Amino acid sequence: MTYIHDTIVKLQKTSPAQAEFYQAVEEVLDSLQPILETNEKYKLHSIIERMVEPERQIMFRVPWVDDQGKVQVNKGYRIEFNSALGPYKGGLRFHPSVNAGIIKFLGFEQIFKNALTGLPIGGGKGGANFDPKGKSDGEIMRFCQSFINELYRHIGPTTDVPAGDIGVGAREIGYMFGQYKRLTGNYDGVFTGKSLLWGGSLVRKEATGYGCVYFAQYMLADKGDSLAGKQCLVSGAGNVAIYTIEKLYELGARPVTCSDSSGTLYHEAGIDLATLKELKEVRKARLSEYLVAHPDARFIPVTDYPADGHAVWRIPAQLAFPCATQNELTEADAQALVANGVIAVSEGANMPSTQDAVEVFLDARICYGPGKAANAGGVATSQLEMAQNASMQRWSFEEVDEKLKVIMKNIYLSASTTAAEFGEPHNLVLGANIAGFRKVADAMIEQGVV
Ligand code: NAP
């Protein structure tokens, strides 16, 4: 369709060298074809041209002093992508790979994900090319404070509400909130993912992982199947991976892998969650140290990965949960998963499967839950945190978890009924993209040319 093609070509000219962003845009726009073909209004209102252009992009210098007294400089970003449905909402990522293209891909995905939750939140994302690994607590604090010295003027509880993402957890949110409070004098719900001691919500920490497992549960239930007794592959060993593993055990499945940037851990007896939490949440250690407590497990270093993919996806299992980072599951990995009999893939990470890998899953007609649907539990629970802050309430763990289950079920139903409406009932990529797009696009039209 030339409308879509022309938009992407123009984007490549006006926003050069942003490969991940084009990948995300192409994936969304391709699946919007059926709705764009039958609804002239979207073209008339230049909706997709407006959607691919962020409302506002903030890029700034983040200078800070390391423990040796040397001044370091990083690049900070906040991309306020779309506020048609509510205040900008989306995490902050601190990782050396961060650049404008990565933040734009994440922000673009966030628009549709947030729309799918059915909650009043717009889409945004931010971060810095700062590497928290190996930094002292003092260095992390000084970096976070400097980051907020610029960002504080752009965020607020009714305008833009950041949360965590890779490299940003409760500790970093604490330092950023402290500096925001000092600069503005406001004690308000400007961040989510806060500590439970001062405004955080129960279940927020667990929400993305739990939600991703609930999503798999709903996909399987539609096929008359369940998680019970299934062997599962999980990638990543951070926030999303850990709570995916926790919920898989609770629902009777057996997660046998996890990974970090140094390699993959395979424990046939099942990953020992207590050891994993101690390593990653408490000691922030490398995954290979797991073998000290569990010599029967196997560690596969990155240097031994297959040339065309990732070791974790070559292990036989029935379910797969990519929970680390973008493009961590290649076409060859997808073929290996399907050949080994995987029946469902539920994405905890954002865009972990390449576009070719997604095609393999769709062609094989296995259950495939794309990240923007399957991992929306995190941002949905962030919105529940905002609601608790605004109403000065505190809900119990069970109450929030129950709401999370309902939200994930509604996301699944919204994606699957929309997929069926457009004649491709197995295609939750198409269903999720169209369902999210329709809400945002119609709101944009109603709000005029702004
Ligand atoms: P995290 O706690 O920082 O953990 C990230 C994990 O992925 C770590 O084990 C990390 O290993 C690994 N990883 C990161 N970059 C990698 C790379 N380039 N190659 C190999 N491994 C890599 O982050 P998280 O919050 O779990 O986020 C994981 C994914 O979920 C991301 O795609 C994020 O955007 C998405 N997500 C998160 C949330 C949330 O609520 N946190 C919500 C929705 C989506 P190392 O420690 O060795 O780097």
3-state SS, residue 236: coil
Cβ-contact 358, 180 below 8 angstroms: no
Q: Where do the CATH 3.40.50.720 domains begin and end in the chain?
A: 207-374
Cβ-contact 437, 109 below 8 angstroms: no
What average pLDDT does the segment 175-191 reach? 96
Cβ-contact 439, 115 below 8 angstroms: yes
pLDDT in tens, 51-76: 999 999 999 999 999 999 999 999 99
pLDDT at 252: 98
- pTM of the predicted structure, to 2 decimals: 0.97
Q: Where do the CATH 3.40.50.10860 domains begin and end in the chain?
A: 54-188
Residue 149 and residue 146: Cα distance in Å, rounded?
5
Confidence of residue 1 (pLDDT cuts 50, 70, 90): low
Give ligand 1 pocket residues (Cβ under 6 A). 164-167, 208, 236-241, 260-262, 323-325, 348-350, 375, 378
382 is in an annotated binding site: yes
CATH number assigned to the domain with residue range 54-188, chosen from the 4 options 3.30.200.20, 3.40.190.80, 3.40.50.10860, 3.40.50.300: 3.40.50.10860
Concerning whether 43 is annotated as a catalytic residue, the answer is no
pLDDT at 4: 85
Beta bridge partners of residue 160, listed in sequence order? 88, 156
pLDDT in tens, 273-317: 999 999 999 999 999 999 999 999 999 999 999 999 999 999 999
3-state SS, residue 92: strand
Q: Which of 232, 261, 260, 228 is nearest to 245 (CA)?
A: 232
Mean pLDDT of the chain: 97
Q: Which two tokens stand for residue 407?
A: 């939200």
Name the catalytic one among 10, 41, 75, 125.
125
pLDDT in tens, 390-436: 999 999 999 999 999 999 999 999 999 999 999 999 999 999 999 99
Q: Which of 395, 387, 377 is nearest to 207 (CA)?
A: 377
pLDDT at 24: 96
Give the number of the atom of ligand 1 that is nearest the alpha carbon of residue 324.
7
Beta bridge partners of residue 27, listed in sequence order? none
Superfamily of domain 207-374 in CATH is NAD(P)-binding Rossmann-like Domain (3.40.50.720)
Output the CA 281–ligand 1 centroid distance in Å: 13
pLDDT at 5: 87
pLDDT at 313: 98
